[in-house]
Chain A
């Protein structure tokens, strides 16, 4: 007798039905094939509202398997409300093991950060993206941005960087600094800090980006060139924490969060919570290295 499994569980494995998963996977394959190019996809209904990480969740649920070990961070932290809720959800819908440990995870979903520890070929990182279109701030019409991407017409993007330089003396794109992927498409890396941008370049890991509200997904395959847009004489720079340092560990070569104390004073702490834990326990870690971090003054515990 064929066992009727349809009603044994209330939901399909990983919540989304298989046909829709297949569709998302197909779009992901296309996205990987054209690095940095935004691919429209179905963006099915989720039990959370759009704009709360549905794009990331779609991708996570479409690619997750029973063997995967899942980690999710929100601005570097495993413990934020959004991360906790989504972790719980993925766990209940898949039964997959979850973890805080960056090295143990096989699938990591993230909002606004990349882990401080370098990821490997075995891992996939999924970004929740609020605004996938990097050209939106210079061009409000969708048909025009599509055309600009198609023709690699990015002059306006550069003009906005020029304007930022003229107004502030530096290019002040705080988060989501626009990048050129594989020498072809300008891509919004989601609002990650400038610190994380160089880590996208020639990485070992597959990066997947999902924007649920905008119904777009895109990807950066492993070992792909990802370069921040810059001028010959005005260059991209990462945040410099050499004057601050983490108040718990004194560490300076990681992205630091600024904390306001009750007395109005300011403190800095390592943003990546798992990395902070490991530093405090003096565990071995293997960080991303890039020319920007390497230039910073060496300082370690």
Chain B
């Protein structure tokens, strides 16, 4: 079963404030993704990796084409699906881990990590314990657990962000540069965590520049260039 089927996807930004200037971000994107597969998205900065990911997450509205997602309740086109349906999917199936943590004022690191978990785990303390355990594995200093992530360094925020997006075991994970700004040991922990998600059936689309991470994680790689697919490489 395919979890994702992208057909003829294109994205053009129309900037009204700049005299209706058009910017082409993606064109002719076609690929499929099997359930439980990990696909690495590679390419230079500005090649359209993040745009593609955002189109799939519906942060960007695709200009044409379709993105067929195999949800628990059947296939649907993420380009045309109702907003409510997308909200529902984001709550229950699809998770997106951006490059930067969007911090929420006055919420502790542990609670930021727990946010998605609170929806399924009614026992708050159990959820917090699980979050702490995960942050420990990611070697976040214990004294930061109850601090506000606004003040954290880039690497610390990154760990909180990764923990937050994988703690609730999403069905489909979109993850942008999970290992950037992490030391070698923590990098391995993150990679192991993602691989263990995969074993439990999660499909992962991962943007990375890190050859080591890509080697360990990916079943396949898709390389983008100027908003088009350059090459699809199958890693054995």
Decide if A and B touch, CB cutoff 8 A.
no
Residues of A within 8 A of B (CB): none
